[in-house]
Amino acid sequence: MRGLMNKLVSRSLSVAGKWQQQQLRRLNIHEYQGADLMNKYGINVPKGVAVSSIDEVKEAVKSAFPNENELVVKSQILAGGRGLGTFQNGFKGGVHIVKADQVEDIAGKMLGQILVTKQTGPQGKVVSKVYVCEKLSLVNEMYFAITLDRKTAGPLIIACSKGGTSIEDLAEKYPDMIIKVPVDVFKGITDEDAAMVVDGLAPKVADRNDSIEQVKKLYKLFCERDCTLLEINPLAETSSNQLVAADAKLNFDDNAAFRQKEIFALRDPSQEDPREVAAAKADLNYIGLDGEIGCMVNGAGLAMATMDIIKLHGGTPANFLDVGGNASEGQVVEAFKILTSDDKVKAILVNIFGGIMKCDVIASGIVNAAKQVALKVPVVVRLEGTNVDQGKRILKESGMTLITAEDLDDAAEKAVKAASK
Active site residues: 143, 231
Q: Which stretch of DSSP H or E encloses residue 242? A: none
HSE value, Cβ hemisphere, 13 Å, CA-based, for 344: 13
Q: How many whole angstroms separate alpha carbon 156 and alpha carbon 417?
A: 49
Q: Is 417 annotated as a binding residue?
A: no
Q: Is 233 annotated as a binding residue?
A: yes
> What is the DSSP-derived secondary structure letter of residue 92?
B
Q: Is 365 annotated as a binding residue?
A: no
Q: Which stretch of DSSP H or E encloses residue 303? A: helix 300-312
Q: Is 299 annotated as a binding residue?
A: no
Q: How many whole angstroms separate alpha carbon 105 and alpha carbon 101?
A: 8
Q: Is 81 annotated as a binding residue?
A: yes
Q: How many whole angstroms separate alpha carbon 70 and alpha carbon 132?
A: 10
Q: Is 387 annotated as a binding residue?
A: no
Q: How many whole angstroms separate alpha carbon 265 and alpha carbon 285?
A: 21
Q: Which of 72, 124, 118, 79 is nearest to 98 (CA)?
A: 72
Q: Which of 414, 46, 41, 22 is nearest to 215 (CA)?
A: 41
State whether residue 158 is helix, strand or coil: strand
Q: How many whole angstroms separate alpha carbon 211 and alpha carbon 201?
A: 10
Q: Is 356 annotated as a binding residue?
A: yes
One-letter amino acid for residue 75 of the chain: S
CA 41 to chain centroid, in Å, comes to 24
Beta strands in 94-173 (DSSP E): 95-99, 114-116, 125-126, 130-134, 138-149, 154-160
Instruction: Yes or no: say if 319 and 351 are a contact pair by the CB < 8 Å rule.
Output: no
State whether residue 20 is helix, strand or coil: strand
Q: Is 172 annotated as a binding residue?
A: no
Q: Is 74 annotated as a binding residue?
A: yes
Q: Is 141 annotated as a binding residue?
A: yes
Transcribe 324-337 into DSSP letters.
-SS--HHHHHHHHH
Q: Which of 225, 229, 156 is nearest to 196 (CA)?
A: 156
Q: Is 285 annotated as a binding residue?
A: no
Q: Which stretch of DSSP H or E encloses residue 286? A: strand 285-288
113: left (phi over 0), alpha (psi -120 to 50) or beta: beta
Question: Torsions phi, psi of 181, nearest 5?
Answer: -120, 105
Q: Which of 355, 362, 393 is nearest to 379 (CA)?
A: 362
* Binding-site annotation, residues for Mg(2+): 233, 247
* Binding-site annotation, residues for substrate: 298, 355-357
* Binding-site annotation, residues for ATP: 74, 81-83, 141
* Binding-site annotation, residues: 74, 81-83, 141, 233, 247, 298, 355-357
